[in-house]
Chain A
Amino acid sequence: MNKIVSIKEFQKTEKGTFTIEMSRFIEASPTTIWQIFSNKATLAEFMECEIEGDLEIGAAIKFIWREFEGDKDKCSGINGGHIVNMIPGTLLSFTWGDENPARGLPWGSTLVEFKIEAERNGSRVTIIHYDLPSEEEAHNHTGGWTMFLEKNTVSWTN
């Protein structure tokens, strides 16, 4: 049986931003994983959204999320920035933010890396999301996440 290994970290860096890191062992070669990352259609299938822009270093990229409300298909948000690096079989990185900064992260303000390493009979894929603002910074910039936190605070009487 194929064992799934997941490592998750939420670390504060010296500059006061946060990093999320998580990985999985996948029973597929780095070439196969790269095939998914380097093709717009398969990358869109993986991200479960529409992708706008070319997969080239420096190109702008948009991840467009759609949801069905009843029978109506509507855009529920757009994330993205630009492609920072593409190393075949090894790395895809791009900046990431929200088109609507009131939702939290300014456009292209954080960095996402998809790293591929050969491991046993497959690959280890690691997703690292850098430069995430602290709750306090997010509040200073946008009021976004703190607003969500307050909005979703639940109180009840025992």
Chain B
Amino acid sequence: MLDTTYNVETPEGIDLRAQAAGPVPRILAFAVDVFYRSLVLTGLGIALAFADRAGMGIWLVCSFLLEWFYPVYFEVMRGGQTPGKKAFGLMVVNDNLTPISWGASLLRNLLRFADFLPFAYAAGVISMTLNRNFQRLGDMAAGTLVVYREAEHRQTSLPDVAPLAPPRGLQLQDQLAVISLTERHGELSDARQRELADLLQPVTGKSDRAALNYLRAVGNWLLGGK
């Protein structure tokens, strides 16, 4: 089964997983960051234009700092998210899924130089595309990873059915599927939902509308309805 999931097993035997983020959202996030940076630099340039050559010097220092330490600051101090990454729900983590540290962040950002070669981040894009976990060269050197920050589970309205205890022998995956069917009652077409419920006729002993209502009731029960 092909997927983009990144798995880590802790010494305690707990599986941590995250969704590695690929080149397209990362390129777009980078573009957003470049946009913000150039906005700041333009504003600064206009403000410092009055200071003549000294202003020019200050502007150059600022652009240097912004180019190299803007990502480091945001990655370490703002939970692994530069403004661009935040816009796309991405975050940088160490490859054991712990929050990124100063050393790793500095390394991965200084090595943007390697990813830039030969021009316009070509090495970075190619490396990101070919790597299993979408890591660019700097990521591989620093042992970091860009993953999706899990979105908060939005509250969905549940169907108005009195909860019922589930039948015996439902495994975790089955329960999740029933819950998913209950939560998506507004998004899936009615016919499709009845078709899905019919699939379980040998288990539930009901069919069509009754089967769907029963599964919704079970879903409500599994979600803690009383």
- Whether chain B is bound by chain A comes out as no
**A residues engaging B (CB < 8 A)?**
none
**B residues engaging A (CB < 8 A)?**
none
